[in-house]
Structure formats: C-alpha cells, structure tokens
Structure 1
Amino acid sequence: MIAVTGASGQLGHLVVEALLKTVPAEQIVAAVRNEAKAADLKAKGVQVRHADYTQPETLKAAFAGVDKLLLISSDQVGQRAPQHKAVIDAAKAEGVSLLAYTSLLHADVSPLVLAEEHVTTEAYIAESGIPAVLLRNGWYSENYTMGVAGAIEHGAVFGCAGDARLATATRQDYAEAAAKVLTSENQAGKVYELAGDNAFTLSEFAQAISDASGKTVEYRNLSEADYVALLEQVGVPGPFAAVLGNSETGAAKGGLFDDSHQLSALIGRPTTAITDSIKAVL
C-alpha cells in the first residue's frame, strides 16, 4: 500500500496519477485535508482518507496498513516543521516501511531561507529511525511560467536573481520521479538532488517568452528590497513576498542550480524544457 499526503494538491495529484500507471488503484491511498477535492481519484478506485497535518489524530488512521508513504511538504511556510513532525510520528506508529519526503534542492547547504524547515524535517526523519529517501526538489518551472501573461502585458520579467542559472523542471517531472522511487526497491537511505536538465537565466527566460509570443519582453533585475516591494504591490502577502525575494537572492548564490541530471535519469526521459512550458502556457 502506497500513500501520498497532500494528494489533492498540484504535485500530489500528479503523483497519484503517475502511480496509477503501474499500481492498482486499491493499493493507493490519497491522504487529503478535503476529501471532496479528491473525488476524481476516488472515482478511479483510489482510497481517499482524511489526513490533516494540523490534526495529528487524523494521521494514524490515514496511514493504517500503509507500507510506503510520500510526505509532500506542507505549503504553510513557518508551520512546516511541527506539521511534518506529526506526519512522521504517525508513520512511525503505523510501522511505515519507507518514508519519502519532498525536500529542497541541496537543502543541507542551500542559501535559501526555505531550506531551514526542510533541514529540520530531514533531521527529525533521521532521528525517527524510519527507513527514508529524500527527494530534494528544485524549483518548479510553473513558479515562473505562471507569470508569462503578466510579463507579456508589461513587457518585462521582474526579479532579483541577477544572472543566476535556474535548473527548473515541471511538477509533472517531479511527480513522475516520486512515483518511480515509490515503486522501486532498495530506496532507503538515498538522497536525490532533483533539477531540470537545461538551466536558464531570467534574461534567457524573458527572451524565450519574446520568441514564443512575438512580443518584446526583457528582464529587469531589481534589488531584493525593491522586488519584494513590487510583489507586495501586486498582492503577494508580505511574509511570502520576503521568502520569494530571499529565494531569488539565494538563486544568485547558486541555490537553485544542479547539473547532475538525477531527475531525468529517474524518469527515463529529458526533463521538460522551459521553452516547452512557455509554449504550453501560451
């Protein structure tokens, strides 16, 4: 039995869909906060169980009979460590034989503030004694392509990453990798540094938007403070805007780059090029 937490979310749903290609539906558990959001998975025969990171009492029941568990990191930055701890405790109590965790690319040495809660979680997993595998995911291409329409409208991509090379991949790429690990043997103790094959700078990203759309788009590099202020101006909550600004500054220090090609090796194909992601959005 394989369980996926956050299975109604963007990444989790894709992981379940990838698992369904090789695993019988009745052997998959979609652990979700809102069962109604997983109705499509239930219709396919997947076991949908209530599991809320903030309600530890729901977790043990959700993990009953589970052999392998994918813990998809919480989206509540600042609350991740205690939420993940609750999941890990429940997994241990239920005798889960393999815990896979979606961490951050090179979390142990990352300059990104986002790495802190991932490092804490990785340490707690080790302390728990549960056999585990770490999926250290790089940045999602969607983090950038979601802004393509705005970039075309304003003629610019804004950021504070300078000439940093960003080795992004799509959620689909990362989901297929997670499914591969969950359905493979001898994964305990492994650490995967997962990133896209073809890194790009934000200047190159802007040029790719120009090429695909026929509209002139340039990259405007701001200071971290100005970039954070711009994000807040367009409605991004202050604390999250600060995290995004820090992440771009961390990228400028190499925090979102990796050229080991472990992701494409896992999924058995090249990762999705950012140019293809841009075309898909357009």
Structure 2
Amino acid sequence: MSIVVTGATGHLGRLVIDALLADGVPAHGIAAVVRDKQKAAGLAERGVELRVADYDRPETLAGAFEAGDRVLLVSGSEVGRRVPQHTAVISAAKAAGVAQLAYTGILGGPDADFDLAAEHKATERLILDSGLPYTLLRNGWYTENYTEHLAPVLEHGAVVANAGEGRVASATRADYAAAAAAVLTQDGHLGKVYELSGDTAWSFAEYAAEIARQSGKPVVYNNVPAETHLAILTGAGVPEPFAAILVDVDKAIERGLLARTSGDLAGLIGRPTTPLADTVAEALRQR
C-alpha cells in the first residue's frame, strides 16, 4: 500500500509530498503520478516512487494505482477538460480497489454556483456514484492566487477586482497541502467532507492596505464593473475564456461565497492557518 499523489509536479502536489515526508511517511511509501518523468526527477531523488500516467490517456492510468492505496486526486488545471480527466482517474482507482480517494474540490461544494465550481461539483458526484471510500477536501482560495501577481499591483498602485466589498477566507497552498497529508495518513476521515478555508476573511481594500504597509508604496483597491475588469484582463494578455472565469469568481466573492470560515482547515493541520500578512511578506521578499 502506498500513499499516491496525482499531479505531483504541480504547485499543490509537490507541497503535499513535502508535507507527507515532514510527517514521517517514508519516501518508499509515497508514489507520485506524473506525466513527465524528467520533470519529477527531484522527487525520484528523494526516494519517491514515480508512476507515469496522463489524465488525458485513460489507458496509462491502469498502472497508476494498486489495491489498498490511499490516493489524492489533485484536480486538473485545464478548465473545461477536467470532468473526463477526473473520470479516467476515478475509474482507474475503482478498478484497482484503492482504500481511499481524496479529492481537492472547491469551497461550498453544491452551494458554489459560479462557473469555476461546475467541474468540481460534477467530479464529486462521480466519486460518490463510484462507491469508492472517499474524503472530499473542498479547498477555498489560495492566497498565492493574489500574492504571486504583485508586480502589476505595485507598478500601478492598485488592486483591481469586481468583487465589491466581498471577503476572501484564503489560506496558503502549504496549509491546504498539510490538510491533504493529514487525511491521507490518519484514520477517521473516510466518508467525510471538509470545507477548507483560512481562519480570517479579508477584503480587497484590506489586502491593498497590507501591501501598501509592507512595501511602503501607495496601493489602493479599485472596484470596477465586471465588463471593465474583463477588458483589463484581456488587455493584459489573459485569454478571454479564462478572464471571464476570473470575473465570475469576483462576482461570487461579492456574494460571500468564498468568505466562509468553518475552522476545518485549522482543525486538520493542528495550527492556525497562515495569515495574509505573512504571505504578502513572503511574496515581497521573493521579488
């Protein structure tokens, strides 16, 4: 039996493996499902088993899982293609007889009515219908979704969104990765659904003020109409379909859908979630 992490060379997958190793799981007890073996060379050097497979090629997933494995399905990053991709993983996991399938979905589950949530909700239904022992990790927003894009904020002195006075209960990828590691290594999580988010929800005005405080530069929050935000994003080179998704997410934030603070994340990781100020500070240090 192994703990298997799909998408293991992605931002979240790598951090989950880091968390598993930090928790004392031996490297030989961890398997990383990857598309590119060369890209995963660093994991192999640490003693992690590599299982090469591709979400888009179901036949390659036949050897990705073994009976008794505990599997983390990290949701695919290609919006619009994730349902068939996830279907292939779920089918392979069922055929192998895995002991657990954990899935990184989206905060709110069925209550999340914005476009980005549709594929996550469909995947949850597939998992439930499969009869597999499951754990649903409904991840909220990653703080890095914002802090990784500080350059234009500092250049223009503005955080731009169409989220009104909505708030975001974000946490770091490392926080969510630690939660995934916890449910994969501890008992008592089968059949459970966790609404994962940061301990404190912040507004975009507060985010802009924090950047200004730490950088020493003037930064304000510009709340703009959705159409204006879409034009700004596409003008900056964001493909229009993805820009439309980002604008739609901001509308969801305005409705309060990413502000819920259940405490599930802090409970799983056994500590408070990482404060916004700490993630801003780290992003500024890395500039």
The one of 11, 17, 37 equivalent to 1:35 is 37
Map of 1:2 onto structure 2: 3
Instruction: Tell me how far 1:66 sits from its aligned partner.
Output: 5.2
CA RMSD of aligned residues (A): 0.9
Listed as ranges, the gaps of 5+ residues in structure 2 are none
How far apart, in 2, do the equivalents of 1:55 and 1:107 lie? 27
Structure 1 runs (4+) deviating above 3 angstroms are none
The one of 216, 220, 240 equivalent to 1:214 is 216
Any idea what SS the aligned residue of 1:20 has? helix
Any idea what SS the aligned residue of 2:71 has? strand
Instruction: Tell me how far 1:137 sits from its aligned partner.
Output: 0.1
Asked if 1:257 corresponds to 2:237, the answer is no
Map of 2:21 onto structure 1: 20
Asked if 1:152 corresponds to 2:126, the answer is no
How far apart, in 2, do the equivalents of 1:243 and 1:213 lie? 30
Is the 8 Å Cα contact of residues 52 and 60 (structure 2) preserved in structure 1?
yes
Any idea what SS the aligned residue of 1:255 has? coil
Q: Deviations over 1:85-125 (max 9, x none)?
A: 00000000000111000000002101321111111110110
Aligned length: 282
The one of 64, 77, 83 equivalent to 2:85 is 83
Is the 8 Å Cα contact of residues 67 and 99 (structure 2) preserved in structure 1?
no
Is the 8 Å Cα contact of residues 3 and 66 (structure 1) preserved in structure 2?
no
TM-score normalised according to structure 2 size: 0.97
Listed as ranges, the gaps of 5+ residues in structure 1 are none
Any idea what SS the aligned residue of 1:36 has? coil
Deviation larger for 149-158 or 89-98: 149-158
The one of 230, 236, 239 equivalent to 2:238 is 236
Instruction: Tell me how far 1:49 sits from its aligned partner.
Output: 1.1
**Residues 1-282 of structure 1 correspond to what in structure 2 (within 5 A)?**
1-21=2-22, 22-65=24-67, 67-282=69-284
How far apart, in 2, do the equivalents of 1:75 and 1:261 lie? 26
TM-score normalised according to structure 1 size: 0.98
How far apart, in 2, do the equivalents of 1:279 and 1:38 lie? 29
Instruction: Tell me how far 1:65 sits from its aligned partner.
Output: 4.5
Is the 8 Å Cα contact of residues 5 and 51 (structure 1) preserved in structure 2?
no
Is the 8 Å Cα contact of residues 170 and 198 (structure 2) preserved in structure 1?
yes
